[in-house]
Amino acid sequence: MSFTSAPAVAAVLMRAGEMGIEDRVLGALRTNVHAMCVGPVTARPLVRLGVPTSAPERMRLGALARHITDELPTLQSRTMTVAGHRLEIRGTEVRDGAHTPDAVEWLLERLPEPHDYVVVASILADKDAAGILDRLTRAGRTFVATESTNPRALPADVVAGLARPFFPSVHTAPGPTAALALARELGERVLVTGSLYLLADLAGDD
């Protein structure tokens, strides 16, 4: 929810009070609904009520609009845990630590359509790389090979070489952050997978 002035905040809260739902509105703003304000003056009434807010660096409507478009993909993230398997969906970006062929099958059954993802993967040396890569072709046709910081991770160029028989378009990036940035340039939908260590490396950048 966006607010462009302190009076707008006051009007929303007043109307919620008249309808008898102020507690529910504040509860939502403190949890699942994110309040984006044009600046600190607008945010102040919400902050006093314990509502987290965010705002652009410049207090302008255009800057607020850009702030909203930057923040929404992250705010739309959701996590699904089934049988100890964790799948995270962030707008058009999916992260899953599938590191066996069976785990990739599990992922593919739950991966949002359409399956036109840019696949980013790091694979450990003791894993069935061919089995993983073969199944990942059902997620997309473009592959970005990288390597996590785990010492058992295959070098990115080795992963790329293993991927070429399976993917028509294969790219290489030296580290997780660079790989994710490249994938976002190559396509709108991104799947990050192949290693829990890769996800851990990226989580440190969030």
Whether pLDDT at 121 is above 60: yes
Q: What is the mean pLDDT of residues 125-143?
A: 97
Q: How many CB atoms lie within 10 A of CB 194?
A: 31
Average pLDDT of the residues in 75-90:
63
Q: Is the pTM of this model over 0.85?
A: no
Domains of the chain: 2-73 (no CATH), 76-203 (3.90.190.20)
Contact 125, 152 (CB under 8 A): yes
Which of 102, 96, 46 shows the shortest CA–CA distance to 202?
Answer: 96
pLDDT at 80 over 70: no
pLDDT tier at 70, thresholds 50, 70, 90: confident
What integer pLDDT is reported at residue 53 of this predicted model? 87
Going by pLDDT thresholds of 50, 70 and 90, the confidence category of residue 115 is very high
Q: Which helix (H) or strand (E) holds 58?
A: none
> What mean pLDDT comes out for the span 57-63?
86
Name the one residue in this structure whose structure tokens are 């504040």: 26
Is it the case that residue 142 has pLDDT exceeding 80? Answer: yes
Rounded Cα gap, residues 8 and 88, in angstroms = 34
The pLDDT, as a whole number, for residue 78 is 62
d(CA 60, CA 76): 24
29 backbone dihedrals φ, ψ, rounded to 5°:
-65, -25
Query: What does the pLDDT look like over 148-174, one tens digit per residue?
Result: 999 999 999 999 999 999 999 999 998
Confidence class of residue 34 from pLDDT cuts 50, 70 and 90?
confident
Interval 4-31 mean pLDDT: 90
Q: What is the reported pLDDT for 191?
A: 96
pLDDT attached to residue 74: 59
pLDDT greater than 80 at residue 137: yes
Kindly state the average pLDDT of the residues 40-61: 89
Say which residue the tokens 């994938």 belong to.
183
